[in-house]
């Protein structure tokens, strides 16, 4: 048993809210609900009530399980939908985040904290305001032009004159505060059958959106599903099943495990090459075998066999703008929770209801259009593609690591690299989260964070025929690029919980 829990989240306000719930006697699930709701207020680029949420839960002494919170396409879709149609209100799937949070609290919460108490911190942040941190300011600056195309999004996110708020400005969301107050007082039914649902349905109808009051009312309870299980260098690895991307994480780790341990230290002669080749192969398999449901996984299960990884690794020739947010919570009794939630793109569809103050997601853009037999084909009630890869590692001595990341397909790359750094380099959790990352595309291109100390490894990649590219965006700061994810993790080491927040974001760790 540990003395305190820990919360690592994308904003200091969210981490503090979760930690406060832990101090009041709530468990990690209770704290995760409060953290999630505050993130939706204080990091609107990444998530909110209008998106989707998936959870991995690791009870002490039991196998982890997942709560599948995938959103789904509206049921009243036209026969032929093209990519050009999926803008504004029509870009949104039916949001599931409120339903997932309510389900998690009712089924797995401590019983010591009421629903209203979990919503109150988000109400306070929306009413009283939060300070616009550096990453959030850069995200707002980058997308301000697109936000200004919608009057409601402009009122929600920008200054009164539609200008960009300065870094350090206190931002308030009074309309969202009223919606959250209703959610706290009346429960999640308000979002799906009450006043909020009616406002969303009316707003959709007024702006040509496809989500209806019937879609909202028919959102089912989330499903509890088994996690996928693998191993990596003495650790048991549990991760999200399809339609999420956890199977790709396991595939990459299987390949990395074929490397001599000495090659994967920071000074190792082939760390970058092994990471690149493993991730490249794993991402190629992801593109080749789209897996939309746990039952589909059987068709590709042989790709995760250790013998298959050994065969593929021999071929390496080695000798001896999506967006999301992720947070991790652990309580003093050893329960840990990893939550990945998203609007898909930065600020989702960048439109919102004037009376609700909730940004809609743009997950409709994650379907395969014009491919009726594709697992992620756009169809009424269909589930969009997802790269969410919240993961838990455990070892026999009781050590535990819970982590995840935002970043579209870079989620998989970020999670794999942090796991490898933690297990192979052994410099501790914060070093693993902060270490420079790379990402591979379908071609022989490798995207890397600029860092002179990696020059030798980069030369090795170029010698192998790769084109090495260092992307620099307006979100780049202090040599780190949020393009490569935003990992927030907690770990139990020697009986104590510790946390690490990704320096690429405005994240923080709070104790509870």
pLDDT values of the chain reduced to their tens digit, one per residue, 512 residues: 346 899 999 999 999 999 999 999 999 999 999 999 999 999 999 999 999 999 999 999 999 999 999 999 999 999 889 999 999 999 999 999 999 999 999 999 999 999 999 999 999 999 999 999 999 999 999 999 999 999 999 999 999 999 999 999 999 999 999 999 999 999 999 999 999 999 999 999 999 999 999 999 999 999 999 999 999 999 999 999 888 889 999 999 999 998 887 888 876 668 888 898 889 888 888 777 665 555 555 655 655 666 655 554 454 444 335 578 999 999 999 999 999 999 999 999 999 999 999 999 999 999 988 888 888 889 999 999 888 999 999 999 999 999 999 988 899 999 999 999 999 999 999 999 999 999 986 668 888 886 544 556 777 788 788 888 888 778 878 888 999 999 999 999 888 999 999 999 999 999 98
Two tokens, residue 268: 């190792």
Dihedral sign, CA of 220, 222, 228, 229? negative
DSSP state letter for 238: E
Quote the pLDDT of residue 298.
61
* Cα within 13 Å of Cα(502), Cβ side: 30
Whether residue 440 contacts residue 283, with contact meaning beta carbons closer than 8 Å, is answered with yes
Distances (CA, A) of 466 to 155, 259, 270, 449: 46, 20, 14, 15
Domains in the chain and their CATH numbers?
Answer: 6-224+346-366 (no CATH), 229-324+387-502 (3.60.20)
Beta partners for 454?
none
Quote the pLDDT of residue 363.
95
Quote the pLDDT of residue 71.
96
The model scores a pTM over 0.85: yes
CA distance 447 to 483: 10
DSSP state letter for 394: E
Whether residue 487 contacts residue 414, with contact meaning beta carbons closer than 8 Å, is answered with yes
Helices 28-42 and 97-108, interaxial angle, to 10°? 160
CA distance 383 to 70: 7
The DSSP code sequence of 17-64 is: HHHHHHHTT--HHHHHHHHHHHHHHH-TTT--TTSEEEEEEE-TTS--
Residues 6+ apart with CB under 8 A from 161: none
Quote the pLDDT of residue 126.
97
Location of structure tokens 């620099």? 472
Cβ atoms within 10 A of the Cβ of 423, count?
Answer: 22
Residues 6+ apart with CB under 8 A from 272: 438, 454, 457, 458, 460, 461
Q: Which of 369, 435, 346, 349 is nearest to 140 (CA)?
A: 346
């Amino acid at each position: 048993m540990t003395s305190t829990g820990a919360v690592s989240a994308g904003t200091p306000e969210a981490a503090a809210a979760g930690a406060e719930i832990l101090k009041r006697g709530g468990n990690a699930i209770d704290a995760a609900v409060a953290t999630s709701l505050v993130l939706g207020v204080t990091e609107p680029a990444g998530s909110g009530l209008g998106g989707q949420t998936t959870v991995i839960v690791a009870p002490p002494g039991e196998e982890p399980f997942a709560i599948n919170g995938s959103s789904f396409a509206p049921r009243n879709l036209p026969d032929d939908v093209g990519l050009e149609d999926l803008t504004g209100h029509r870009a949104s799937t039916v949001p599931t985040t409120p339903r997932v949070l309510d389900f998690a609290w009712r089924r797995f919460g401590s019983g010591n904290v009421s629903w209203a108490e979990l919503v109150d911190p988000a109400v306070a942040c929306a009413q009283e305001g939060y300070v616009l941190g550096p990453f959030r300011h850069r995200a707002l600056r980058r997308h301000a032009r697109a936000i200004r195309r919608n009057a409601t999004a402009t009122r929600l996110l920008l200054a009164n004159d539609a200008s960009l708020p300065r870094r350090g400005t206190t931002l308030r969301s009074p309309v969202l505060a009223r919606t959250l107050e209703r959610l706290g007082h009346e429960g999640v039914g308000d979002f799906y059958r009450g006043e909020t649902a009616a406002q969303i349905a009316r707003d959709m109808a007024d702006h040509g959106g496809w989500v209806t009051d019937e879609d909202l009312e028919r959102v089912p309870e989330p499903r509890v599903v088994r996690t996928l299980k693998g191993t990596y260098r003495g650790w048991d690895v549990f991760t999200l099943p399809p339609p999420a991307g956890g199977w790709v994480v396991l595939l990459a780790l299987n390949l990395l495990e074929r490397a001599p341990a000495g090659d994967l230290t920071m000074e190792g002669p082939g760390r970058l090459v092994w990471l690149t080749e493993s991730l490249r192969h794993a991402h190629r398999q992801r593109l080749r075998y789209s897996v939309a449901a746990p039952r589909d996984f059987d068709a590709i299960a042989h790709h995760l066999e250790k013998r298959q990884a050994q065969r593929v690794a021999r071929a390496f020739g080695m000798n001896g703008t999506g967006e999301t947010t992720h947070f991790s919570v652990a309580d003093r009794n050893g329960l840990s929770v990893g939550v990945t939630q998203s609007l898909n793109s930065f600020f989702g569809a960048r439109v919102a209801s004037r009376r609700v103050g909730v940004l809609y997601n743009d997950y409709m853009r994650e379907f395969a259009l014009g491919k009726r037999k594709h697992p992620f084909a756009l169809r009424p009630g269909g589930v969009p593609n997802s790269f969410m890869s919240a993961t838990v590692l455990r070892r026999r001595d009781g050590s535990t690591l819970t982590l995840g990341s935002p970043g579209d397909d870079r989620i998989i790359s970020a999670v794999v690299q942090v796991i490898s750094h933690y297990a192979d380099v052994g410099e501790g959790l914060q070093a693993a989260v902060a270490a420079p990352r790379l990402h591979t595309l379908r071609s022989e291109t490798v995207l890397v964070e600029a860092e002179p100390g990696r020059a030798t490894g980069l030369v090795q990649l170029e010698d192998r025929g790769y084109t090495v590219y260092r992307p620099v965006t307006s979100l780049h700061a202090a040599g780190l690029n949020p393009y490569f994810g935003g990992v927030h993790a907690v770990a139990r080491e020697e009986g104590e919980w510790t946390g690490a927040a990704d320096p690429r974001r405005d994240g923080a760790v709070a104790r509870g």
